[in-house]
């Protein structure tokens, strides 16, 4: 299973690194620079607003289905047609609730139009994720990997034409950006639907009220988890836009989005771990096999990467923001250096949170997520009026460490892993050594690009010396059958 994890992770990383960075830095960043922080912040706030009610779109079906299909492949044929109908019903409920709350919150006519379009995009994204959960649940990771980048590939094509084609840069608007996303999601959803219909031997849609009740009963713990995690991960920019007066709210939301973009790009790597690990953990747990090796391997890889990246990006926060943007550099840098440190706990939650999900420990995950949501909203409420976007960054950083630590403790309580003190000592040495290397290089090397590469390289060598990265063992694992 460890070999399968490594080979599929490598393929998935290759496709995502090939496509998604260009989307984030070539397209998304260019759009923000072109339309301005205020306009993009306005859009970002509305986008995150539509994320808040994703619980109504999915109701935990995707995570439940991924785990369920991985453990019971034969259920794909039985469940697919019923779940598709249920998803359409949830989509109608989602649009009604989202528009109603937007109206109550006082959104104007243009904001309401965008909420509708962005809500439609959320419906398509939810459908794609559900369809992909069937594919990955069957352990068809290569097919799932291709689908995972298809929407971004299409967006790059469409937005490139709009940005640099005959229309010219001066004509580009945020509206076009949103419409291009809609078209890309429609095409991707149709492709994924055809693939799953073929694998499910789909014949016709089936209306079954009892089946809907069964799915709700089995998936609602996943739904609650999605709702809680969405709130403490997405509420920041919404609260910035709502709490700060006038244009200041839009600008601060735009600054926060600027700083968050690079974290979002790096976070995709950690997220890819969870996509592959969930069905693998679920299969191992069902078979009552030992998960220790896979947990240690995945945690070591992602934690080492998180320390390398987070410390060095934190050190050179201003330089990277200056490289990416043309306005609000100082403000974005101040937010970014806090957000990027949050990648360390975020990366660990993609391992231990996924393990708890595969184990069915939804009660404890929901308690942790609820605690994180309350903490995050409270901190934002206290910090935004005084510190604005920087206050939201502090709230996010504290919340991420809080939830990661609780998840780690819960995993140890439930699985009772044998403590490997030598391994933990090496991890501690790596963290301490990387901090020392980063600070020393930053002090001694004046040219930031050279310093960044040197610090990353020396920290990587330290990981190899401490045998956190063991090339020979990884190669042997990849060659094993």
57-112 tens-digit pLDDT: 776 666 666 555 556 555 555 666 667 777 888 889 899 999 999 888 888 888 89
What pLDDT, on the 0 to 100 scale, is given for residue 66?
A: 58
pLDDT number for residue 477: 45
Residue found under tokens 């836009």: 241
What is the per-residue pLDDT for 243? Answer: 86
Displacement of CA 305 from its chain's centroid (Å): 16
Q: Can you give the pLDDT at residue 76?
A: 59
Looking up tokens 């244009």 gives 247
Mean pLDDT by 10 residues, the chain (481 residues): 60 70 78 80 84 74 61 58 77 91 86 92 88 73 78 88 65 86 93 79 64 70 71 77 81 86 82 76 82 86 92 92 84 92 92 87 87 91 91 93 93 89 92 94 90 93 86 53 42
pTM above 0.75, yes or no: no
* Res 475: pLDDT: 59
Q: Give me the pLDDT at residue 287, please.
A: 81
């Amino acid at each position: 299973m460890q070999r399968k994890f490594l080979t599929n992770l490598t393929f998935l990383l290759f496709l995502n690194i090939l496509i998604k960075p260009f989307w984030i830095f070539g397209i998304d960043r260019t759009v923000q620079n072109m339309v301005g922080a205020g306009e993009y912040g306005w859009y970002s706030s509305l986008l995150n607003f539509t994320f808040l009610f994703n619980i109504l779109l999915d109701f935990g079906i995707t995570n439940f289905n991924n785990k369920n299909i991985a453990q019971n492949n034969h259920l794909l044929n039985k469940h697919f047609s019923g779940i598709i109908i249920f998803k359409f019903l949830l989509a109608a409920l989602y649009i009604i609730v989202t528009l109603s709350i937007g109206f109550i919150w006082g959104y104007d006519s243009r904001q309401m139009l965008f909420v509708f379009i962005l809500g439609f995009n959320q419906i398509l994204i939810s459908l794609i994720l559900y369809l992909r959960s069937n594919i990955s649940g069957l352990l068809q990771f290569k097919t799932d990997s291709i689908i995972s980048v298809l929407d971004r590939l299409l967006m790059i094509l469409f937005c490139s034409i709009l940005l640099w084609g005959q229309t010219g840069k001066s004509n580009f608007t945020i509206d076009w950006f949103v419409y291009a996303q809609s078209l890309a999601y429609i095409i991707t959803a149709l492709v994924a639907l055809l693939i799953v219909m073929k694998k499910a031997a789909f014949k016709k849609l089936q209306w079954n009220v009892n089946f809907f009740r069964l799915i709700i009963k089995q998936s609602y713990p996943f739904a609650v988890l999605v709702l809680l995690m969405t709130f403490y991960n997405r509420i920041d920019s919404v609260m910035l836009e709502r709490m700060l007066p006038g244009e200041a709210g839009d600008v601060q939301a735009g600054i926060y989005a600027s700083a968050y973009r690079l974290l979002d790009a790096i976070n995709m790597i950690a997220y890819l771990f969870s996509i592959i690990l969930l069905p693998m953990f679920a299969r191992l747990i069902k078979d009552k096999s030992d998960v220790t090796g896979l947990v240690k391997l995945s945690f070591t890889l992602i934690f080492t990467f998180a320390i390398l990246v987070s410390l060095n990006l934190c050190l050179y926060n201003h330089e990277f923001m200056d490289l990416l943007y043309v306005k609000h550099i100082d403000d974005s840098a101040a937010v970014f250096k806090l957000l990027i440190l949050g990648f360390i706990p975020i990366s660990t939650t993609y391992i231990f949170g996924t393990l708890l999900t595969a184990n069915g420990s939804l009660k404890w995950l929901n308690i942790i997520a609820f605690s994180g949501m309350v903490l995050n909203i409270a901190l934002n409420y206290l910090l935004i009026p005084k510190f604005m976007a920087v206050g939201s960054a502090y709230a996010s950083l504290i919340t991420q460490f809080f939830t990661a630590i609780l998840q780690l403790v819960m995993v140890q309580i439930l699985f009772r892993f044998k403590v490997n003190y030598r391994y933990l000592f090496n991890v501690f040495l790596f963290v301490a050594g990387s901090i020392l290397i980063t600070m020393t290089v930053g002090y001694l090397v004046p040219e930031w690009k050279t310093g960044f590469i040197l610090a990353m390289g020396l920290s990587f060598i330290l990981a190899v010396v401490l045998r956190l990265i063991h090339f020979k063992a990884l190669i042997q694992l990849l060659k094993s059958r």
